[in-house]
Structure 1
Amino acid sequence: MSTEKPYGIDGPPGQAAGASKGEGGTPGAPSVTVLRATAPDEAEAAVAGAYLPHSIETLEPGRLSMLLTAARLGTTTAGRLGYGRRIRLVTEEARHIHVNTPLAGTAVSRVGRSAPHATTIGSAAAFPEGAPATMEWSSDAVQLCVMVPSSTLETELEGLLGHAVKTPLRLPFHMSLTTPEGRVWHSMANLIGRELDSPARLLERPRAGRQLERGLLDALILGHPHGYLDEIQRHARPAAPAAVARAVDLLHERPAEPWSSTVLARAIHLSVRSLQGGFHTHVGQPPMAYLRDLRLRGIHGDLVAATPGSTTVESVAYDWGMLHLGRFAAAYRREFGELPSRTLQRPPG
C-alpha cells in the first residue's frame, strides 16, 4: 500500500492518519507512506510521526519542499528524506538507534556534546539512544534515515555471535563507507534508497519487510567497527555434517522464507561463522549461495511446467522468495543460458 498525505502521520509508517492498514495492498506486506510539507511545523509533525520529536529551523529564505518516503520493515523504519532548503534540526533524546546516510548533499551532525561531523556520500552518522542531536542539512541533502530498536539490533548480533551479549552494542558516531567493511552498509543503504524512490513493488511484497530488515541489520553490524566485530570475524570451528544437514533440510522445506545466514544459524543453534565454515567444508558454497541455486532450480522447474499465459515470471520468482527481479534474471541467465521469460514462453514438453 502506498499512502500519500500532505503532512502528519499517526504512529509508524504504514499507519498514516486516514488510511487503513494494508488497504489496497497485500495483507502483511510492509506499506510505504509518502509525506510532503512546505512549512516547518508541518514538516516537524510529519517526520516526528515516523521517527522522534524534534524542531526545525530554516536557514535560508523560501518554502520547504520536504518529501519523506518511509517504510516499516519489521521493527525497523527506513525513510528517504529531504527538505529542499538548508535547515537546522534539533531532536529530543532518542529512544532508538538512528543511522543517517546521505544519498545526496551534506549534513553536519552533533550528538550530545560530541564534536560536529560532516557526512556526505561515502559516510554516515550513527546516533545512539538517549542523547539529543543537532543536524544541519544542505538544501540538496537527501538522506536514508534508519531507526532501529537497540533490542532488535542486539538480537541480530547474538545470532551472529551464537551467544548472548553482555554489554550494549556501541556503533561509532562517524562511519566511513569507503572501507571494505563500510561498503557493506553503503550497498544496502543504496538499495533501500532506490526502492523507496521507485514504485516500491519490492517493498510491498509480503516477505520483503523481514528480509530487507535482516539485510540492513547484518550490514550495520558487519559494516562498522565495534567491540564485537573481531569476535564475529574470528575463525570458528566449522559446523559438523549433521548440523549442516539440518540447515540444508530447512532450506529445502521452506525455500521461500526470508532466510539470512543469521536466521539460519540461529535456527540450528550455531554461530554464523560456524555455519558458513560448515557449508564451505561439507557443501562447497556459502549457505545463501546454496539457497539461491535451490530457488533457481525450483523456479526453472515451475516455468518449464507452466502453460504460457497462465502465470508470470514475477509471480513465480516471488513465490520462491526472489525479491530483487533484476538480480534474479541475471543469475537465472547465467545458470540456464536464457532469460526466465524465454523459458516461460516455450511450450511444455
Structure 2
Amino acid sequence: MMQAQLLSHRSRVFDHADPYAVSDYVNQHVGNHCLQMPRAGRPLASLDHRKFASLDLCRISYGASVRVMSHALDSIYHLQVLLRGNCLWRGHGQEHYFAPGELLLINPDDPVDLTYSSDCEKFILKVPTRLLESVCEEQRWRYPGQGIRFLENRYQLNELEGFVGLLAMICQEAEATEQIPRVQEHYAQIIVSKMLGLMKTNVIRTDPCSPSATFEALVDYIACNLKQDIDSEELARQARMSLRSLYGLFERNAGDTPKNYIRQKKLERIHANLSDPTCNVRNVTEVAMDYGFLHLGRFSDSYRKQFGELPSDTLKRRH
C-alpha cells in the first residue's frame, strides 16, 4: 500500500522484542500510554526510532492484538500512518477502523484509545506544540488563543498532496550518515507548514504579505481590554510576532506606535463616556483612573490636545 519508505532497519531499536520493553521506550520518547496485552501467547514487537530536530519519528509493530490507551498528550500532537493491518480508534463517541494508507491525527487534548490488529504496523510522527506555534509566528498566521487544534482526525494519504513524499524525505534525512541540525530544523518547519496547509485547523491563515487580519485582531483585543494596562510586549505575544514586527505593523496600519495608539483609543473611550448622558460617570478623576491615567494633569493636557477642551468641560456640557 505504501510506496514510500518510512524508516528502515538502520533505525531499528528493538527487533522481535518483549512488547512491554518497547512500550517503556515509547513512553520515554514518543508519548505516555499504557499497554493491554493478550493473556496467551508470546508476541514479539519491533520498533524503529529517530530523533529529528524537535520531532520524533517512529515505526512500530507489537506482533499481537494490543490496546494502547492514554490520557491527553498535553504538549504534543501525534500523526499516525497505518502501514499494515488495521487499527480501531475510539473517541468522541465514535469509532473507526483505520486501514493502510489512512492517517490519524491526535490533538494534545485528545485521549488515546487504539486497538491494534496482530499484523498492525504504523509510522508515528510526534510533533511538539511549540513547533506549530513557531510556524504560525513565522507565517504571520493568527494563532488561536486556546491553542491549535486539528478539526478532523482522519485523512487518506493520497488526498494530501505531496505529504507522503515529504515524510519519506524526512525519514531519509534522519537516517543520513551526516546529521546536519540546521537542515533538520528546516525540514521540521516544512512538514508542520504542510500539515497546517493541507489539514483543517482552527488557525486563520492570511496572506503573509497582507497583515491586515493580524492588525484587526489586535484592534479588537485593545478595544476589549482598554481598562487594562496593555503594553507592547503583550500585543507582540498576542500577535505571535517580535516587537520590531509589531512596531512595523502599527506604523503601516495606524501611522503610530502601539503605545500612542492605545493611549488615543483610551482617550476616545473616555470622551465617549463623558459625552454620553446615559453613561454613569461621577467625575473626571474616576473615569481617568479607570483607564489607567494616574497623572491627572498630563491626562487633561492630552485630552485637550485631542478634543480641544478639558475633560471637565465635556462633562459639564452633557448636563
Bin for the TM-score computed over the shorter chain:
0.5 to 0.7
Higher helix share: 2
Q: Separation in 1 of the partners of 2:42 and 2:31? A: 23
Aligned to 1:50: 29
Partner of 2:23, secondary structure, is: helix
The answer to whether the aligner puts 1:227 opposite 2:205 as a matched pair is: no
Q: Separation in 2 of the partners of 1:192 and 1:110? A: 29
Q: Identity percentage over the alignment?
A: 17
Q: Separation in 1 of the partners of 2:194 and 2:67? A: 29
Q: Separation in 1 of the partners of 2:173 and 2:115? A: 26
The answer to whether the aligner puts 1:109 opposite 2:89 as a matched pair is: yes
Q: Separation in 1 of the partners of 2:140 and 2:180? A: 30
Amino acid paired to 1:71: R
TM-score, normalised via structure 1 length: 0.50
Q: Larger Cα Rg: Structure 1 or Structure 2? A: 2
Per-residue CA deviations over 1:272-304 (Å, capped at 9, x if unaligned) read: xxxxxxxxxxxxxxxxxxxxxxxxxxxxxxxxx
The answer to whether the aligner puts 1:185 opposite 2:163 as a matched pair is: yes
The answer to whether the aligner puts 1:131 opposite 2:106 as a matched pair is: no
Q: Separation in 2 of the partners of 1:42 and 1:210? A: 30
Q: Separation in 1 of the partners of 2:27 and 2:139? A: 32
Partner of 2:132, secondary structure, is: helix
**Cα distance change on mapping 1:69 and 1:204 into 2, 3 Å:** farther
Aligned to 2:53: 74
Aligned to 1:140: 119
Partner of 1:77, secondary structure, is: strand
Q: Counterparts of 1:1-349 in structure 2 under 5 Å? A: 34-36=13-15, 38-59=17-38, 61-95=40-74, 96-111=76-91, 113-162=92-141, 164-171=143-150, 172-179=152-159, 182-193=160-171, 200-201=175-176, 204-228=179-203, 231-232=205-206
Partner of 1:78, secondary structure, is: strand
**Cα distance change on mapping 1:169 and 1:156 into 2, 3 Å:** same
Q: Give the unaligned 5+ runs of structure 1.
A: 1-30, 239-265, 271-349
The answer to whether the 8 A contact 1:203-1:209 is kept is no
Q: CA deviation at 1:72?
A: 1.8
Aligned residues: 205
Partner of 2:135, secondary structure, is: helix
The answer to whether the 8 A contact 1:35-1:46 is kept is no
Q: Separation in 1 of the partners of 2:39 and 2:193? A: 39
Q: CA deviation at 1:170?
A: 1.1
Q: CA deviation at 1:187?
A: 2.7
Aligned to 1:246: none
Q: Separation in 1 of the partners of 2:167 and 2:116? A: 19
Q: CA deviation at 1:193?
A: 4.9
Per-residue CA deviations over 1:299-335 (Å, capped at 9, x if unaligned) read: xxxxxxxxxxxxxxxxxxxxxxxxxxxxxxxxxxxxx
Q: CA deviation at 1:210?
A: 1.3
Q: Separation in 2 of the partners of 1:162 and 1:107? A: 34
- Aligned-residue RMSD, C-alpha: 3.4
Q: CA deviation at 1:237?
A: 5.5
Q: CA deviation at 1:124?
A: 1.0
Q: CA deviation at 1:122?
A: 2.8
The answer to whether the 8 A contact 2:34-2:69 is kept is yes
Per-residue CA deviations over 1:224-270 (Å, capped at 9, x if unaligned) read: 122336x34x69569xxxxxxxxxxxxxxxxxxxxxxxxxxx9x969
Partner of 2:94, secondary structure, is: coil
